[in-house]
Amino acid sequence: MRVNVTVNGSQETVDDVWEGESLLYMLRERMGLPGSKNACEQGECGSCTVYLDGVPACACLVAAGQVEGREVRTVEGLAEGQPGDERLDPVQQAFLETGAVQCGFCTPGLIVQSHDLIERNPAPSDAEIREALAGNLCRCTGYEKILDAVRLAARRKAAHT
């Protein structure tokens, strides 16, 4: 089937999509956007979190056909500018600086989820950060530096608004 979808601000037409494919598969294998990760493919780990019409969703749980006519924003769409010369989003920059990234496989999903949290709640408490990120598994960091990253990103975003 054919899927028409806006991804990271660009209108795309994807052909030959099999009906059983997920949004995650379509992004990763048909659109050259492997940033959203395939850690569990059952909605438990949050590694594939993307914005779907502005709301975070696990791309593995969304059928590709369901995004017809809709808008998707992935981790690749958060930085401004061109690849190689991009300005990272403050959430991305904070994850990088605080040591919130080790293997990095959970990072794209956590960044999208944290980005959404700070959009909704510019000054989240630790309890609110923990609640917002409870659906994103990380196996490397023990989450301490992820909390540091979200606090830092929130402070910086607040300072720039």
Partner 1 sequence: MAAPVKGPGPVKSPGHVVAPGIGGVGDSPLRPDGTLKVAGEFAYASDLWMDGMLWGATLRSPHPRARIRSIDIGPALATPGVHAVLTHEDVPGHKLYGEDHTEDQPVLAIGEVRHQGEPIALVAADHPEIARRAMERIAVDYEVLEPITDARAVIADPERLKVQPRGGIVRHQPVRVGDVDAARAQADVVVIEEFEVGIQDQAFLGPEAGLAIPSEDGGVDLYVSTQWMHNDLSQIAPCLGLDESQVHMTLAGVGGAFGGREDLSVQIHAAMLALHTGKPVKMSYNRYESFFGHVHRHPAQMRYEYGATADGKLVYADVEIILDGGAYTSSTRNVTGNAASLGVGPYEIPNIRIDAYGVYTNNPPCGAMRGFGAVQACFAYESMMDRVAAACGLSPVEFRRRNAVSQGSKLATGQVIESPAPLAEMLARLEAMPMPAACDPSDIRNLPGGASQTTHGEGVVRGVGYGVGIKNICFSEGADDLSTARVRLEVIGGEPAALVHTAAAEVGQGLVTIQAQIARTELGVQKVTIAPADNRVGDAGSSSASRQSYMSGGAVKTACEAVRAELLARAARRYGHGDLTAVGGKIVSRAAGVLGSIEDVLGGDAIEETREYHHRPTTGMDPVTGQGVTHTQLALCVHRAVVDVDVDLGLVKVVEMAAVQDVGKIINRIGVEGQIHGGSAQGLGLAVMEEIVVSGGLVRNPSFTDYLIPTILDMPPMRLDILENPDPDAPYGLRGAGEPPTLSSTPAIVAAVRDATGRALTRVPVRPEHIIQETSG
CA 108 – CA 123 distance, rounded (Å): 21
SS3 102: coil
User: Pick from 38, 27, 16: which is nearest to 70 by CA?
Assistant: 27
Question: Mask 103-122, x = binds partner 1 (CB under 8 A)?
Answer: xxxxxx--x-----------
CA 85 – CA 70 distance, rounded (Å): 28
Find the binder of partner 1 among 3, 33, 52, 153 (CB under 8 A).
33
Question: Could you say whether residue 23 binds partner 1 (CB under 8 A)?
Answer: no
Question: Could you say whether residue 152 binds partner 1 (CB under 8 A)?
Answer: no
Q: Which residues contact partner 1 by CB under 8 A? A: 15-18, 20-21, 28-42, 44-45, 47, 74-76, 79, 83, 86, 88, 92-93, 95-99, 101-108, 111, 127, 129-131, 133-147
